[in-house]
Chains A and B, each alone.
Chain A
């Protein structure tokens, strides 16, 4: 059997994540909140410590040895991310703070040029606030309209309605690859093809996809793809915006400052080449290096094996939770990743969360920064268990036992 065919050795993987080996409220930690942020393997923690202990210097500036090391490591991370996403060139990989900044960058540069009065931006009803608000701000500024593709009762995007919404005035489509609140895997390839036929560029919010699915930006043929390091086993404060060269070249800079210029005088500033045109100021060097190591770790395990492992857990979790009386899953799309969002009859999500916490179980409760999704389902909040590559069947079983405690208290 080839390594790629073998199942993940989860117990061995768990040894790579020191944070998992602790007690919370006297119970072993069961971490089911990776959609909020994933935990970090030791190799990532070591990379951060190594950078600060041995190589810390500013990048693209010094002639000294440390600056060379820091620059090599930083640019090496960019090249690794390029390969990870199968982008055509490292210059198409721009470091940002996270998905939110990636989307805002596109809205404030590409968007401000391309969108005018009466134009339209198309999103879907399952977007995270970070893929709604930047477009609302842009549309308000430009007198443009935001069009929202509906979702059905299972949380699937109505792709036929989407195709009808694409029109003469559509200037951009922005859509999540995987829903953070529902777990729906959105058929972005089909949606990109439909936009491509009409010459409309597409941005994909990949925050919840990159940790769980193999992403190939050239196979998708998307124009922009953005994700966060901290949900992909990397550090907080670092993320990636991928963009096609021709689009990035034509876009104005996002922020002005050091590193994004070739020359500055009081009369005229010449902007730097890609990707530096979009990286004003000293970047999160350690974060970028840590993210590169995190993706290397993920590739080492094998993305297909990770996806298969998580899918099996998701199926197990769906079965177990569905069998509990008074429990309702929210988000039952045919294609899902990582997320089990649910309601317990007669018990508010926060009470569920507090009781589970005392059992050592970490879940997210609330609207998940997707208030329109909650409105769509006529609810205020859900409890959400979300999976990472280090989760195992026992974690799901602990969740089910914890939910029995909820029943015990609330009757």
Chain B
């Protein structure tokens, strides 16, 4: 197996793919958005329950590849308890790690496992779909967001 494949499909990613966290509807979400990757047809819904400025609860639903499911799962675990501003900053760091320079993963903690996706340009959108969707939910966008 190539080292790039090992970096892409790290155990923690495969684990989140098999047993995604927070993969459920919220009883009373205050924000929701739908994300769509037209390349593969994958759809994802992110729901958020805000308490003031704080993400009290967050969940996702939908089908997708291992990268998009694991990314959604780990994103929800990461964002729970964060303020909206902190969440936006995490989104920016995550995006920078995948589209920009090396080194950004240091600030991302557990989410740094997605750095391996950089070596698979056609898969970057799989990793960012959940984040774009959460960003749209926080911004209160009604239209489904796409990765295009």
Contacts and interface: CB of A to CB of B under 8 A. Distances in A.
B123 A354 contact: yes
A371 B43 CA distance: 13
B98 interface: no
A365 B40 contact: yes
A378 to B, nearest CB: 11
A358 B123 contact: no
Interface of A is mostly: helix
A409 B9 CA distance: 7
Interface string B59-74: 0000111110000000
B64 A366 contact: no
B134 interface: no
A381 B9 contact: no
B64 A348 contact: yes
A366 to B, nearest CB: 5
B8 A381 contact: no
Contacts of B139: none
Contacts of A410: 9, 14, 66
B66 A358 contact: no
Nearest to A409: B9
Chain B interface size range: 20 to 34
B4 A350 contact: no
Q: Which of A349, A354, A365 has the most chain B CB atoms closer than 10 A to its own CB?
A: A354
Interface in B1-55: 1-2, 4-5, 8-9, 14, 39-42
Nearest to B5: A358
A110 B64 CA distance: 41
B66 to A, nearest CB: 5
Nearest to A352: B65
Contacts of B40: 349-350, 365-367, 380-381
A347 B66 contact: yes
Contacts of B126: 350
Contacts of B14: 409-411
A343 interface: no
Chain A interface size range: 20 to 34
Contact of A380 (B1, B4, B42, B120): B42
B8 A354 contact: yes
Interface string A358-382: 1000000111000100100000110
B142 to A, nearest CB: 23
Interface in A354-409: 354-355, 358, 365-367, 371, 374, 380-381, 405, 408-409
A358 to B, nearest CB: 5
A355 B67 CA distance: 13
A367 B66 contact: no
Contact of B65 (A351, A371, A374): A351
Given A347-B66, A350-B65, 13 more contacts: A25-B2, A348-B63, A348-B65, A349-B65, A350-B126, A354-B5, A354-B120, A358-B1, A367-B41, A381-B42, A408-B1, A409-B5, A410-B14
28 contacts: A25-B4, A26-B2, A348-B65, A348-B66, A349-B65, A350-B40, A350-B123, A351-B9, A351-B67, A354-B5, A354-B122, A355-B5, A355-B9, A358-B1, A358-B4, A366-B39, A366-B40, A366-B41, A374-B41, A380-B40, A380-B42, A380-B63, A381-B41, A381-B42, A409-B14, A410-B9, A410-B14, A410-B66
Interface of A: 25-26, 347-351, 354-355, 358, 365-367, 371, 374, 380-381, 405, 408-411
